[in-house]
Amino acid sequence: MTFNVIQSSQSSFNDYSMVYLMGDAPRQPQPRSVPKSKYTRAPDLGPPANVDCPLVGRCRSPSLSPAVAERLPSPMKRWVIWLFVVWVGLDAWLARWWWLNRRERRADLHILAAARQYRVEPALVKAVTWRESRFREDARGGAGEIGLMQVGRLAAQEWATSEKRRLFHHHDLLDPELNTRAGTWYLAKLLRRYTGTDLPEAYALADYNAGRANVLRWIQGPASTNSAAFLAAMDFPGTRDYIRTILEQRARYREAPTTSGLP
């Protein structure tokens, strides 16, 4: 009987082993996996080395990887970059200022010569030149004006006729000397036209900018002699601003030794 029990147990063990090897053995239940939440808290890294942290287990070091740390500029490097950018900007500004100042000084010689010739205040001539072209000798306007004082074709022809210049072409006024002479001659002509007003410069500048036809529309009634009424009657804000800026610039140029007046 004992032999039968042993044999039976051995048979059962062999059957179980065979079933296990075939893959049909019963499996133990696995613990249920809990899906990770996007709000799962990161594991505590502990306090950084050599740092006293009162909250043990809650202080962690914001250390970066060595590759990222190498790409970040040090404080000294940031200062050097900042100083370099400032230096480049200052150098560009100084270069532009030097060039504009040189261009302005180059025009002074022509402005003074034309002002003496036609008896116009040099500061006013220079202010008109500044407003018209910013002292650019090759400046061109939208209506065909050219040069330092943006002289139009009709005004240029009038000047050439008065000066008895033969074989004259409008593009000859790209020469800064001729352009300043023609523009100053035309400005002097306009100033003489409005000598009966309280401020001939305002009327002459309006004529220089907007033309005679528009000035005739604005000089009705008190505006014919009163410059304040004349400016108020203007329906061209651009012309009003043109007059204001030139008169303000003339006041600045009056303090300069080169344009303070005729010698």
Nearest to 179 by CA among 152, 214, 198: 152
**Domain ranges within the chain, ordered by starting residue:** 111-253
pLDDT of amino acid 41? 54
How far from the centroid of its chain's Cα atoms is residue 188's Cα?
Answer: 37
Mean pLDDT of the region 150-170: 94
Q: What percent of the chain has pLDDT over 70?
A: 64
Mean pLDDT of the region 12-33: 51
pLDDT > 90? residue 232: yes
At position 197, the amino acid (one-letter code) is: T
Site of tokens 């059957």: 15
Residue 32 pLDDT class (50, 70, 90 cuts): low
pLDDT of amino acid 66? 61
Q: Which fold has domain 111-253?
A: Lysozyme (1.10.530)
At position 181, the amino acid (one-letter code) is: R
For 38, 155, 207, the CA distances from 57, given in Å and listed in that order, are: 22, 89, 84
Higher pLDDT, 75 or 23: 75
DSSP the chain: -HHHHHHHHHHHHHHHHHHHHTT-SPPPPPPPPPPPPTTPPPPP--PPTT---SSTTT-------HHHHHHSPPHHHHHHHHHHHHHHHHHHHHHHHHHHHHHHHHHHHHHHHHHHHHT--HHHHHHHHHHHHTT-TT-B-TTS-BTTTTB-HHHHHHHHHHTT-SS--GGGGGSHHHHHHHHHHHHHHHHHHTTTSS-HHHHHHHHHHH-HHHHHHH-SGGGGT-HHHHHHH---HHHHHHHHHHHHHHHHHTTSTTSS---
Q: pTM for this structure?
A: 0.64
Site of tokens 């210049």: 165
pLDDT > 80? residue 193: yes
Judged by average pLDDT, the poorest of 73-82, 162-171, 212-221 is: 73-82
Packing angle, helices 122-133 and 75-118, rounded to 10: 130
Judged by average pLDDT, the poorest of 78-87, 137-146, 151-160 is: 78-87
pLDDT of amino acid 76? 67
Packing angle, helices 200-210 and 176-193, rounded to 10: 120
Q: What percent of the chain has pLDDT over 90?
A: 55
Higher pLDDT, 253 or 20: 253
pLDDT of amino acid 5? 42
pLDDT of amino acid 100? 66
For 91, 125, 152, 206, the CA distances from 191, given in Å and listed in that order, are: 43, 12, 18, 11
Question: For 141-153, what is each residue's pLDDT tens digit?
Answer: 988 999 999 999 9
